[in-house]
Structure 1
Amino acid sequence: MSTSTPSTPSSSSLRILSIPPFNQASTTRLQALYSDFTRQKHSNPVSFQANVEWWKNALETVVTYGLQDSNESAGSRVILHANSTLQERVKIPKVGKPLALGTVLTELHSLRSFIPITEFMNLKASIYATSSLPVRLVSYVVGKPLWWALEHAGVVGDEGIFGSSTSERNKSTAWHGDYVLIPSLETVADAIMEAQRDSETTTADALYTWPCFSRTFAHVLDDSFDQIDKQDLKVLLKYLERDRGLVVYDKDVIKFVESDADVEERSITAVDRGVLELKNVVESLAQQLESLQNKIDRCTREASISMKQGRKSIALNHLRLRKQLHELLDKRLNSHATLESTLLTVEAAMEDREIMESYQSSTATLKAILAHPSLQRENIEKTMEALAEANTDAHEVDEAIKVGGDIALGVDANISDAEVEEELEALVQEMAAVKVNDSRSEAEQRLLDLRVPEHTPQTTEAGWKSSKIPVLARQ
C-alpha cells in the first residue's frame, strides 16, 4: 500500500532551512516574508524595506551556496537565475513559495544591488559612476511627489488606469531573468585580487589565457570548482576591467594591471602575447614531464609484478617501454630547461626596461629640480654669504648682550682669568692650612681629655672639673 507524502520536505528545502538567514527566522516570520507584502511599501515602508533587505541577504546566500541549481557543485556564484524554478527551490513546507519575489527584485534593481545581466554587460560607464546622480536626484525630488499625488488620485498605482497592479506583476513572468548580484561580485573580485597579489612575482604572472584564468581562480568562487562558470567569467572580467580598472582583456589574453596604470600599460602588446605564449609552452612541458614520470613509475611497477609472476617477456617489454620513456623524458627536460631559461631572460629584460624607464623619469625630475633659480651657483654663493654675515651679526649681538649683562651686575670686564685663578689657588691653600691647624688642636684636646689626674686625698673643685671622671659622673 503506497502512501503519498506531500508534506515531506524536499532535499533543497532541508538545505535551505539549514543556512542563514532562513535558519534564523521563525515560522511566523517566514510566513510573513513569503507572503505578498507589496502593499506595505506605502502602508508600512519600514517593514517593507526590512523584508527587502532580508530577501537580498537570502538570495545572495542561495547563489553563494549553489542552491539555485540542482547540482550544488556547479553553476553560477554571482548571477541569480530568477524564474519559477527558483521559487520552487526556495519553497518551504508549511510556508509555501515567495509571492513577492518580483517586487523584491524590482526594488533591488532600483537600488542597484541586483542588475539584469544584459544591462550590466552593456553599461558604458562604471556602476559606481556618479554622473547620473543629479538626474536621479531631480527625478526623485520632482517625480516622487507627483507620483504620490497621482496614486492618491487613483490615476496610477496598484489600482490606477496605467497597467496592472504590482501583485499581478508578481504573478507574471516580467521579473524572470538573470541578475548580477553586485555585493557577491564585489566579494569575489576582492578575493581574486588578493590571490593574484599573493602569487604575482614576475611580469608573466600577470598574463593569463581565458582557460588558465578560469582554472587558476576557480577555488575563489567555490573550493569544489575546477573552473569558473562561463557566464560568471564574463561578468567578472567586465567588472574588473570597467568598474575596478584592474584588468584588460581581449578574446585571447587577460592581463592584470595597476589601477593607476597609464594608457600604454592598459593595452595588450605583441610582447605580452609572446611572453604568454612562452609561459604556456613552459607550463605545458611541465605537465608533460609529470605525465612521463608517472608512466615510468607505472612501467616499473608492472615490470616488478610481472617478474614476481614469472612472466619474463612481459617484464622485459615494460622495461623497454620504460627506457624509451626515459629518453623522451630527458629530451623534454632539456627543452623545458631551455624554454624556462628563455622565459626568465625575457622577464628580466622587461623588468630592466621598466627600471630604465624609472631611471629616465627620475633623471628628468632631478634635472627639473636643479633647474630651479634658487639652486643656481650665483644664488647659492649669495645665499651662503648672506648666511655668514647674518651669523657674524648674531655673534656680535650675543657678545654685546653678554658684556652689557656683566656691567649691569658690576663685574669688571678687564679682570683677567689668570688673576682670578691665582686668587683661587691662594684661597685653597689658606683653607688647607686652617684645616691642618684645626686637626692639630683637636688632637691635642683629645690627649688632654684622656689624661688621668694623680690620686691625692684632697682634690680641689677646679681639679675635678679638669679631669674626665667628674664629667662621666655628670653624664
Structure 2
Amino acid sequence: MSDLLNYLVQNDENFRRARLPALYSDFRPQRTLNPDGFAANVAAWKRGLASATLTGHVPSKATTRNHLTLDLDSDSLLRSLETKQFGRPLALGTVLQDALAHGEMMPLQQFLKAKESIYHRSWGSLPWAVVSWGLRQVGIGGPGDNLPKGRFVVLQNLEVVSKAFSEATADRSSPFERTFSKAHFQRTFAEGILENRKLSESDFEVMVKFLSRDKNVLVTDGNTIKIRSSSQAEDVSITEEDSAIASLKELMEDLTRQTEVLNRRIDELNIAAQDAVRRKNKIAAMAALKSKKLAETNLSRRHTTLSQLEDVAAKIEQAADNVQLVKVMQSSTVALRSLNAQVGGADKVDTVLDNLREQMGEVDEVGNIIAETGPAATVDESEVDDEFEAMLAEERKKEEEAERIKREAQQEKEAEETRRKLAELEKLAPVPVPGQEGEKETRPITPVTATTDELGEMHIENDAAATETEKIAQMAE
C-alpha cells in the first residue's frame, strides 16, 4: 500500500476498507442512476485528496512538497493509489473534473493572473460546458472524464491556511510588527502556519495572492507586505514608511543572523587555538587567535550597528503610535463637539435645570395642598394604647407559659435522677445492725418510693436522705 493510500485509510473515515471497492469502482453511471451515491463518492475523494495535499502525502515532481497545489502533470497520482486488489480508481478523472467545475480547484496560472477576487464571480458558477471549453483552450483536460493535467490550487486548503494565518498574527497590533519585506515575510511564516510543515515558495506565492486579493488580509506591492489591521480602510496601500520599515526589519534580521554566525566562529577559533596550544603548534595557535580577534572586532561592529538600528526601530514604532494617538484624539474631538452641540452648551443646561426645579416645586406645592384639603384621618389614641397593652399581656403570657414548661421539665429531670440513685441502692447487700453480744442482726434497706409530685416538692429532703443512705452503704462495705 502506497504512502498516499495508507494515509487515507488511516486518517479518513470515508476510506475505510469496506468503502474502498465503491470508491475504486467506475461509479460514473451513478450520476443519473444513484445521484446520492455518486455525490458521496465524489465528496469523499475531494476531501481525501485535499487533506492529503495539505499534509504533504500527494506525490509531486518538485523537490519540496506543495501543500496548497495539486500536481497532475503525470500519472504519478494514479500510480500512488494503485493496489493489487482494486487496481486504479476508475472514476478519479470525473472527481477532479467535478472539482474544477464547482470551483473547488483552479488552474494555478489562472488563479495567479486573476484580477478580481475568485469570490466575486465564482469559478463554479459557470456552466460545465463553458468551463470544459475554457480548460481545453489552455491545454487542460480533454474529452470525457479524463484526468486533467497541470497544477491546480486547492481552495479548501487555502481556507485552512487563511484561518491559521489570521490566528498566528492576531496579536500583531503595531505597524512595525505588521510590515515585512517579501523575503522576511516568508522566513517569518514559513514554518509557523501549518504544524510540522513548511510552506514552499509556490505555496507562499499562492497564499499571498489569496490573502491580499480574496481575503483583504494583506496589502502588497510585490516587495513589501503589510498585514491589515481591523481599523484600516479598504483602499490602504503600501507607503514609503512601510517600505522603510520593511527594509529596516530585514537588515536587523540579517545582522542578527551574522552575529550568530560570528559567535559560532569565535567559539570554533577558540577551541582550535586551545587545541594548537596543547599540540605546541605555535603558528596554528597564533593564526587561530588572530582570526578570533578579527571575528570579535566584526562582532562588536555588528552589535553596535544592530543597537543603532534597534534604537531607530523603537523611534519609528513610537512615532507610529503617536500618529494613531493623534488620530484617536482628533476623532474624539469631533465626537465631543457633536455631543456638546446636541446638549446646547452650559447656558441651555442651566435653563433646563431651572425649569426642572420649578416643575418639581410645583409638584410639591400641589401635593401639600391636596394633603391639607383632603379628609383628615383620625386615630383614637386610647384604642391604640389598649391594643398595645393587649399585645404586651399576650407576650407576657407566652413568656410565663414557656417558663412554667421549663421549670416542670427541670423538676422532672431532678426526680428522675433521684429515682435512679434509689434504684442503685436497692441492689446493694443488706446492711449489718449492732445487736446483743455474740449475735449479729441484719436489716435490709427498705426501698423508698415516691410519686413524681412529691419528689418535685421535696427534692431537698430526698437529696439529704440519699446522702445518708450512701453513708450507710459505705459502712456496710
TM score, norm. by length of structure 2: 0.70
Judged with a 3 Å threshold, the aligned counterparts in structure 2 of structure 1 residues 17 and 290 are, in CA distance, closer, same or farther, namely: same
Aligned AA (2:66): S
Aligned pair partner of 2:358 in 389, 413, 436: 389
- Measured after TM superposition, the shift of residue 92 of structure 1 is 2.7
Aligned pair partner of 2:182 in 194, 207, 210: 210
SS of the equivalent of 1:393 reads helix
The Cα offsets for residues 184-228 of structure 1, whole Å up to 9 and x where unpaired, read as 111111111221224x254222112222222222224555555x3
CA contact (8 A) 1:74 1:225 kept: no
Judged with a 3 Å threshold, the aligned counterparts in structure 2 of structure 1 residues 263 and 20 are, in CA distance, closer, same or farther, namely: closer
Aligned residue runs from structure 1 range 63-78, under 5 A: 63-69=53-59, 74-78=64-68
Indicate the residue corresponding to 2:135 in structure 1: none
In the alignment, the residues of structure 1 paired with residue 183 and residue 56 of structure 2 have an alpha-carbon distance, to the nearest angstrom, of: 22
CA contact (8 A) 2:108 2:153 kept: yes
Judged with a 3 Å threshold, the aligned counterparts in structure 2 of structure 1 residues 168 and 324 are, in CA distance, closer, same or farther, namely: closer
Indicate the residue corresponding to 1:194 in structure 2: 167
| Unmatched runs of 5 consecutive residues or more in structure 1 | 1-8, 145-165, 413-419, 436-468
Aligned AA (1:26): R
CA contact (8 A) 1:246 1:259 kept: no
In the alignment, the residues of structure 2 paired with residue 251 and residue 313 of structure 1 have an alpha-carbon distance, to the nearest angstrom, of: 52
CA contact (8 A) 1:67 1:89 kept: no
Indicate the residue corresponding to 2:144 in structure 1: 169
SS of the equivalent of 1:212 reads helix
CA contact (8 A) 1:63 1:79 kept: yes
| Unmatched runs of 5 consecutive residues or more in structure 2 | 130-140, 397-453, 459-477
| Higher Cα radius of gyration | 2
| 1:297 aligned onto 2:270 | no
Indicate the residue corresponding to 1:284 in structure 2: 254
- Measured after TM superposition, the shift of residue 256 of structure 1 is 0.5
- Measured after TM superposition, the shift of residue 259 of structure 1 is 4.5
Indicate the residue corresponding to 1:58 in structure 2: 48
Aligned AA (2:185): F
Indicate the residue corresponding to 1:102 in structure 2: 93
| 1:185 aligned onto 2:155 | no
- Measured after TM superposition, the shift of residue 111 of structure 1 is 3.0
Aligned pair partner of 1:20 in 12, 34, 39: 12
Aligned pair partner of 1:329 in 294, 299, 302: 299
| 1:409 aligned onto 2:382 | no
In the alignment, the residues of structure 1 paired with residue 193 and residue 325 of structure 2 have an alpha-carbon distance, to the nearest angstrom, of: 36
Aligned pair partner of 1:237 in 208, 222, 237: 208
CA contact (8 A) 1:188 1:220 kept: no
- Measured after TM superposition, the shift of residue 263 of structure 1 is 4.8
| 1:253 aligned onto 2:224 | yes
The Cα offsets for residues 77-128 of structure 1, whole Å up to 9 and x where unpaired, read as 1112235221112223311212212221232233332233344334444333
In the alignment, the residues of structure 1 paired with residue 252 and residue 92 of structure 2 have an alpha-carbon distance, to the nearest angstrom, of: 51
Indicate the residue corresponding to 1:346 in structure 2: 316
Identity %, equivalent residues: 27
Judged with a 3 Å threshold, the aligned counterparts in structure 2 of structure 1 residues 122 and 167 are, in CA distance, closer, same or farther, namely: closer
Judged with a 3 Å threshold, the aligned counterparts in structure 2 of structure 1 residues 217 and 71 are, in CA distance, closer, same or farther, namely: farther
- Measured after TM superposition, the shift of residue 61 of structure 1 is 2.0
CA contact (8 A) 1:209 1:254 kept: yes
In the alignment, the residues of structure 2 paired with residue 252 and residue 400 of structure 1 have an alpha-carbon distance, to the nearest angstrom, of: 84
In the alignment, the residues of structure 1 paired with residue 106 and residue 362 of structure 2 have an alpha-carbon distance, to the nearest angstrom, of: 75
Judged with a 3 Å threshold, the aligned counterparts in structure 2 of structure 1 residues 362 and 384 are, in CA distance, closer, same or farther, namely: same
The Cα offsets for residues 353-404 of structure 1, whole Å up to 9 and x where unpaired, read as 12111111111221122122x4234432331122112211232344345556
In the alignment, the residues of structure 2 paired with residue 61 and residue 90 of structure 1 have an alpha-carbon distance, to the nearest angstrom, of: 15
SS of the equivalent of 2:167 reads helix
In the alignment, the residues of structure 2 paired with residue 53 and residue 78 of structure 1 have an alpha-carbon distance, to the nearest angstrom, of: 18
Judged with a 3 Å threshold, the aligned counterparts in structure 2 of structure 1 residues 78 and 240 are, in CA distance, closer, same or farther, namely: same
CA contact (8 A) 1:244 1:259 kept: no
Aligned pair partner of 2:82 in 84, 88, 91: 91
SS of the equivalent of 2:191 reads helix
Judged with a 3 Å threshold, the aligned counterparts in structure 2 of structure 1 residues 42 and 167 are, in CA distance, closer, same or farther, namely: farther
Indicate the residue corresponding to 2:429 in structure 1: none
Indicate the residue corresponding to 2:335 in structure 1: 365
Aligned AA (2:220): Y
In the alignment, the residues of structure 1 paired with residue 107 and residue 287 of structure 2 have an alpha-carbon distance, to the nearest angstrom, of: 62
In the alignment, the residues of structure 2 paired with residue 341 and residue 315 of structure 1 have an alpha-carbon distance, to the nearest angstrom, of: 39
In the alignment, the residues of structure 2 paired with residue 110 and residue 260 of structure 1 have an alpha-carbon distance, to the nearest angstrom, of: 37
In the alignment, the residues of structure 1 paired with residue 58 and residue 208 of structure 2 have an alpha-carbon distance, to the nearest angstrom, of: 23
Indicate the residue corresponding to 2:33 in structure 1: 43
In the alignment, the residues of structure 2 paired with residue 380 and residue 111 of structure 1 have an alpha-carbon distance, to the nearest angstrom, of: 64
Aligned AA (2:105): F
In the alignment, the residues of structure 2 paired with residue 72 and residue 65 of structure 1 have an alpha-carbon distance, to the nearest angstrom, of: 15
Aligned pair partner of 1:219 in 174, 179, 191: 191
SS of the equivalent of 2:169 reads helix
Judged with a 3 Å threshold, the aligned counterparts in structure 2 of structure 1 residues 37 and 221 are, in CA distance, closer, same or farther, namely: farther
CA contact (8 A) 2:7 2:52 kept: no
CA contact (8 A) 1:128 1:243 kept: yes
Count of aligned pairs between the two proteins: 378
SS of the equivalent of 1:179 reads strand
The Cα offsets for residues 158-209 of structure 1, whole Å up to 9 and x where unpaired, read as xxxxxxxx99622x35x223222222111111111221224x2542221122
Which moved further from structure 2: 352-361 or 393-402?
Answer: 393-402
CA contact (8 A) 1:303 1:315 kept: yes
Q: CA RMSD in A?
A: 3.5
CA contact (8 A) 1:120 1:180 kept: yes
Indicate the residue corresponding to 1:313 in structure 2: 283
In the alignment, the residues of structure 2 paired with residue 285 and residue 79 of structure 1 have an alpha-carbon distance, to the nearest angstrom, of: 34
